[in-house]
Amino acid sequence: MLRGFDTLVPRSRAEVEAAQRREPNVPPCTAMVAEERAGAFECNVAVYGRFEGRRESARPPSESEISQMYDQIQIQSPPVPVARSTRYLSMKGIIERGWTRTMIDSLLGQPDEEWANPYYRSAPPCRMFLQARVEAAEATTEFAARIGKVNARRSGKDYTPTFVRKYGTTAAALADAAEGLFALNRYAKHATCSMKHKSEIYALKNRFIRWAVENGYLQSWGRHEIVQPEKVLECYCVSRCSGNGCHRCDFTGVHRRLPERTLEFVVLRFAFGGKAYSWHQPEESVLFAYAGRAPQLDDASDWTPERDKPVDMPRSRFALVKALLRWVLADAEEVSS
């Protein structure tokens, strides 16, 4: 009588003997493949083959036969994880200490080890450096000189002596600060303006407007409303696939529908250096009193935010303008407090 079966190979000599006593007619089969993944053993059990027929004798195998059969079993046991006694730093860890990639390449050179990427197997290996070697490089004069330049560049240039020589007082710099803020506010609506730069500009704008209102520079104010129509956001499958939809959009091609809504803005008008400026702020972001400080505008003309308005200022001056606004606001807010 023919018999077919799949069986699992025992992992120890005692298990081999116990299995042979339970199944005397079952010959031992080949190996169990084990892989080490993330410090744990994950066993991928292969199909060990189908064996047909029986052993002619049902007697239990002798000790020598068991030893011979055990030696024939090919078992690939994963290595036992060993705790590393030497500390290593990855590229990310070194950069968090203040290094740049250029400094790593020039001062450290090739990595001491390369480890498999723990997140993506197909990704390049992680470059690992001995912590002792990194600390030794940080103690050199060359590193001190280079990190000093890097930190100075990161913190930005100190324009305070320049502003003091040019304006003397922050009051004399208000006209240039307002003109610079007007240009920055326009640039914030450009598609080329990064989110970080935009947030920085709007933070300076909010501080400057609040200070100007509270110190009597507000000339008039009004309100504008904008009705934003319903907006349909397409699912990514429309552009990336055949356009027939997918399970994420229930095969409609529509990822999300934004309902129609009304946006309310407050328009604030100022005068600096004999020139008028008008800025719009979302009503929910105006957290200070303004209604009783200046007359309200009679006309509520329609207004629509426009993108990519021309900016009459080279981008190379943006850092100078932001530094000027910080200098004016720091001094003015200190005097007000």
User: What are the boundaries of each domain within the chain?
Assistant: 13-72, 88-154, 158-227+262-336
Q: Are strands 231-234 and 218-228 parallel, antiparallel or unpaired?
A: unpaired
How is residue 137 written in tokens? 């490089």
Residue 68 pLDDT > 90, yes or no?
A: no
| Better-scored residue on pLDDT, 297 or 36 | 297
Q: Cα separation of 269 and 279, whole Å? A: 7
Least trusted range by pLDDT, from 59-63, 71-75, 131-135, 319-323: 71-75
167: left (phi over 0), alpha (psi -120 to 50) or beta: alpha
Q: Are 41 and 78 in contact (CB under 8 A)?
A: yes
Residue 86 pLDDT > 50, yes or no?
A: yes
Residue whose structure tokens are 């800025």? 279
Q: What is the mean pLDDT of residues 22-36?
A: 45
**pLDDT bucket at 45, cuts 50 / 70 / 90:** very low
How is residue 313 written in tokens? 């200022």
Q: Are 115 and 125 in contact (CB under 8 A)?
A: yes
What is residue 23's predicted lDDT score, i.e. its pLDDT?
A: 62
**pLDDT bucket at 252, cuts 50 / 70 / 90:** confident
Residue 2 pLDDT > 60, yes or no?
A: no
Residue 320 pLDDT > 80, yes or no?
A: yes
Instruction: Give backbone dihedrals phi and psi of 141, rounded to 5 degrees, phi first.
Output: -70, -30
Q: Are strands 231-234 and 40-44 parallel, antiparallel or unpaired?
A: unpaired
- Report which residue type is found at 188: A
The 3 state secondary structure assigned to the chain is CCCCCCCCCCCCHHHHHHHHHHCCCCCCCCCCEEEEECCEEEEECCCCCCCCCCCCCCCCCCHHHHHHHHHHCCCECCCCCCCCCCCEEEHHHHHHCCCCHHHHHHHHCCCCEEECCCCCCCCCCEEEEEHHHHHHHHCCHHHHHHHHHHHHHHHCCCCHHHHHHHHCCCHHHHHHHHHHHHHHHHHCCCCCCCHHHHHHHHHHHHHHHHHHHHCCCEEEEEEEEEEECCEEEECHHHHHCCCCCCHHHCCCCEEEEECCEEEEEEEEEEEECCEEEEEEEEHHHCCCCCHHHCCECCCCCCCCCCCCCCCCCCHHHHHHHHHHHHHHHHHHHHHHC
Total-model pTM: 0.53
Q: Cα separation of 42 and 256, whole Å? A: 41
